Amino acid sequence: MDISDMAATAVNAVFAWAVHQSFRMDLVSTGLAAALLVIAGLQVRGALIRARRMRDIEEDMDNLRASNRTVKSALDETKKKVAEVTLAIAEKSEAREKKIAGELQIIEGLVRNFASNAVKLKEPAVEAPRAAVIPHANGLADPSMLEIIRRSLEENRVDLYLQPVVSLPQRKVRFYEALSRLRSEDGTVIMPDQYIKVAAPAGLMSVVDNLLLFRCIQIVRRLTQRQREVAVFCNISAHTLSDPEFFPQFLDFMHHHRDLAGQIIFEFTQEAVLAAREPEEANLRYLANLGFRLSMDQVTKLDMDLGRARRLGFHFLKLRAETLIFGMKNAHAAVAAEDFKDLLSRNGLNLIVERVEDERTVVQLLEYNVDFAQGYLFGEPRPLRDVAEANDPRHAPAAPTALPAGLIRRLAG
């Protein structure tokens, strides 16, 4: 019994005593009257309590409805803001895509103009007699190949091919190597060993490398939409590395795309690395400082300074399977084939064995604990469109931002 109940009981008792004294009622009647008073009081008190509780419940319901209205209003406002942001992003993306498409057309036009001007500067004023032309292994003479290169660049017939680099023994694709191919008007594919010997003296290798890099960025952005661990080896020629005008602009371009440092690995030939002087070494170190890893291919001399290679930023060294298995002595290796991978590891380099063509070679590589391999056994070079569609046919490749103004001026000549 709480205090209010005790107070009500005391009041009823006093009231019953007063009735008894006033009306001279007997004790039984007085008790019954008092009991009736207590019951009536309890009923009145219960009614008051229920009424108060109903008011409290109504107030809580009003507060809840007000809270619901506030939450609904907040949700509506949030939905409205999300819709506005989504629309703004879509409009911005559409505008950016249109801008990039226009920039791409401008850049391709500049590349074509540069290629045309460069070739004209290198061509003789009077065409040499055909009898005086020295043919190449492909059966095409210098002027003929130069014209094919010029037309291929002008008409954007420079294709990107990708060849997988797999891990052993799982044979899981870990990297791709990007390879450039030119196409003549009749569709004939011209390989690098055919066009480089002509394009380099004509000053066109920077153009080819630029287009290769441009498309590497496109395919990297596509591949990494779903598979961030896949990276692409992008070849840079010795002529581009030593180009005092082009390479600084190339470095500036990559500075603006350093978010791709984990996905693009720049590859240089051993000959280019060994011939690099201080300016070229500084360029290599700059790339490494941006976070880009470097790779060395066409390795034929194994008595090189591995520590220097690592200090310049190299993480990978590619060696032909034939050299590793049969030609270590001729390559002047300091260790046996089975110890070569460990030697590279101690110098911070990863070994990739290339030109792997059969299963017998794979067995030998596993005995040497080789981690990565490349060759037709694991996949031949395929056009960019085929590899991109195989990885994600629903998405179009994302184009990179425009080249730096300085590089555009360089291409414009």
Q: Please give the residue range of the domain that contains residue 147.
A: 142-412
Residue 413 pLDDT greater than 90, yes or no: no
Q: Under 8 Å CB-to-CB from 352, ≥6 apart: which residues?
A: 165, 295, 316, 317, 318, 319, 372, 373, 374
For tokens 């055909």, name the residue: 130
Q: What Å distances lie between residue 95 and 134, 163, 221, 408, CA to CA?
A: 52, 34, 19, 22
Q: 153 and 116, same structural domain?
A: no
pLDDT score of 408 more than 50: no
User: How many whole angstroms from its chain centre is CA 128?
Assistant: 50
| 131 domain-assigned | no
Contact between residue 311 and residue 305 where contact means Cβ atoms under 8 Å apart? no
107 with 149, same domain: the answer is: no
Residue pLDDT, tens place only, 193-209:
888 888 888 778 878 88
Q: Does residue 127 fall inside a structural domain?
A: no
332 and 396 co-located in one domain = yes
Number of domains in the chain: 2
- CB burial of 167-193 (b: ≥16 within 10 Å; e: otherwise) equals ebeeeebbbbbbbbbbbbeeeeebebe
Q: What's the pLDDT tens digit per position in 54-97?
A: 888 878 887 877 777 777 777 777 777 777 776 766 666 555 55
pLDDT in tens, 270-297: 999 999 999 999 999 999 999 999 999 9
Looking at 88, 122, 156, the residue that finishes a domain is 122
135 lies in some domain:
no
Q: Are 296 and 308 in contact (CB under 8 A)?
A: no
Q: Which residue, 122, 156, 174, sits at the end of a domain? A: 122
Rg of the chain on CA atoms, in Å? 41
In a domain, 129, yes or no: no
Bridge partners (DSSP) of residue 232 are 176, 264
Name the pLDDT band for 407 (thresholds 50, 70, 90).
Answer: very low
Do 234 and 336 sit in the same domain of this protein? yes
Q: Quick one: 332 and 384 in the same domain?
A: yes
Please check whether residues 163 and 87 belong to one and the same domain. no
Q: Are residues 44 and 154 in the same domain?
A: no
Model pTM?
0.64
Residues 276 and 349 both lie in one domain = yes
Question: Following CA atoms 9, 15, 20, 21 in sequence, which dihedral angle do they give, to the nearest 10 degrees?
Answer: 130
pLDDT digits 0-9 by tens, 170-195: 999 999 999 988 888 888 888 888 88
Residues 87 and 165 in one domain: no
In a domain, 132, yes or no: no
Amino acid identity, position 241: L
Higher pLDDT, 37 or 151: 151
Shared domain for 408 and 364, answered yes or no, is yes
Q: Find the farthest-apart pair of alpha carbons in the chain and give their distance in angstroms, rounded.
A: 156
The average confidence (pLDDT) of the chain is 77
* Structure tokens that stand for 216 in this block: 């590497």
Q: What is the pLDDT of residues 299-313, one digit of tens each?
A: 999 999 999 999 999
- CATH number of 360's domain: 3.20.20.450
Q: Is residue 116 part of a domain?
A: yes
Residues 6+ apart with CB under 8 A from 296: 267, 268, 269, 270, 273, 309, 314, 316, 317, 318
Q: Are residues 254 and 388 in the same domain?
A: yes
Residue 237 resides in a domain: yes
pLDDT of residue 43 exceeding 90, the answer is no
Peptide bond into 244 cis (omega under 30): no
User: In terms of residues, how long is the chain?
Assistant: 413
Contact 220, 232 (CB under 8 A): yes
Instruction: Give the DSSP per-residue string, 34-98.
Output: HHHHHHHHHHHHHHHHHHHHHHHHHHHHHHHHHHHHHHHHHHHHHHHHHHHHHHHHHHHHHHHHH
pLDDT in tens, 324-375: 999 999 999 999 999 999 999 999 999 999 999 999 999 999 999 999 999 9
Distance from the Cα of residue 301 to its chain's centroid: 34
Q: Of 122, 156, 173, which residue constitutes the final position of a domain?
A: 122
Give Cβ neighbours of residue 17 (< 8 Å, ≥ 6 apart): 30
Rounded-to-integer distance, Cα 182 and Cα 155, Å: 11
Same domain, 284 and 397: yes
Is residue 130 one of the residues assigned to a domain?
no
Q: What is the pLDDT of residue 402?
A: 43
Half-sphere exposure of 220 (CA within 13 A, CB side): 25
